[in-house]
Copies of this chain bind each other. A is one copy, B any other.
Amino acid sequence: MTQTPTARLMDGTALARRITEESAEAAAEIRRRTGTAPCLATVLVGEDPASVTYVRMKRARCRKAGIESRQVALPASVTTAELVETVTALSQDPSVHGILLQHPVGPHIDERAAFEAIAPEKDVDGVTTHSFAAMSFGLPGFVSCTPGGIMRLLDAYGVEPAGKRAVVVGRSAILGKPAGMLLLARDATVTYCHSRTADLAAAVREADILIAAVGRPRFLTGDDLKPGAVVIDAGYNEGNVGDVDFASAATRASLITPVPGGVGPMTIAVLLAQTVEAAGRQLGTAA
């Protein structure tokens, strides 16, 4: 028997558009006051088709929002030292306000060393250890874009994390771990699950707020959910499929993000917003 979806959709596309419009206004204001537009440097290593597409999308969104972007494309054969040198130069270049190093950068490269070459004040993608610790300790700094987008979605839909059980499935450095830390900073009771979790279904069923960030298509289903849970699907797998089986989850959740159109667009929106914020600070126009 098919059940009727009862969950309300969390429309990431619409919210991202609103945030991007605000960023475009702020970017225009910076340009008006300083003569300089915010500038994001994008660093791409190799020609991985997904990475090429992501960078192209991000640059197109920048352009629409009045943010300049400077593309730095390096061959797949680049060494860690060369990549670190390139990123360091961008960190020191006053005409660049934000730096995006598109990952993955290739297995032969020390990705962490490359990330750490990004100056904290230009880390608009929130990938440095400095940014992670700032998120964890509630200090000023930029957030990882996808977790930051998740928090904005929760806020936009009136979901108050304080006192709620939040369960994060996945523990990557740029998604699961910072998402949990941001929720903890907002007073959620946070559980991290992962591939070694013994009884995942039991843990997921505790979630008032579920963050699926595991990268496996339709890995979680409606049966796993506590009725009324808020479901954030941060997965994006082949065939435009999330980590959550949408059809079954939508019959149990109270709120759910679609894939595509949920978390995905928010990631870029936060990247743009943080680039404009970084530019405002560096150019001395920050409010």
Contact = CB atoms under 8 A, between A and B. Distances in A.
A189 B184 contact: no
A245 interface: no
A213 to B, nearest CB: 14
A242 B91 CA distance: 47
Nearest to A161: B196
Contact of A137 (B129, B190, B191, B193): B129
Which of the four size classes fits the interface of chain A?
20 to 34
A173 B180 CA distance: 15
A197 to B, nearest CB: 4
A56 interface: no
Contacts of A189: 191-194, 196-198, 203
A206 B189 CA distance: 13
Contact of A129 (B134, B171, B192, B196): B134
A177 interface: yes
A130 B134 CA distance: 10
Residue of A130, A162, A191, A198 ringed by the most chain B CB atoms within 10 A: A191
Contact of A139 (B112, B139, B193): B112
A136 B181 CA distance: 11
A173 B129 contact: no
Contacts of A137: 112, 129, 132, 173, 177
A136 B139 contact: no
Contact of A163 (B112, B164, B197): B197
Contact of A136 (B177, B198, B203, B206): B177
A102 to B, nearest CB: 19
Contacts of A194: 184, 187, 189
A196 B163 contact: yes
A178 to B, nearest CB: 9
A190 to B, nearest CB: 5
Nearest to A171: B184
A283 interface: no
A191 B193 CA distance: 9
A141 B48 CA distance: 32
Contacts of A130: 129-130, 133
Interface string A73-90: 000000000000000000
Interface string A131-175: 011101101000000000000000000000011110000010100
A173 B171 CA distance: 19
Interface of A: 112, 129-130, 132-134, 136-137, 139, 162-165, 171, 173, 177, 180, 184, 187, 189-194, 196-198, 203, 206
Which 3 residue pairs across A and B have the least CB separation, nearest first? A129-B133, A187-B196, A191-B191
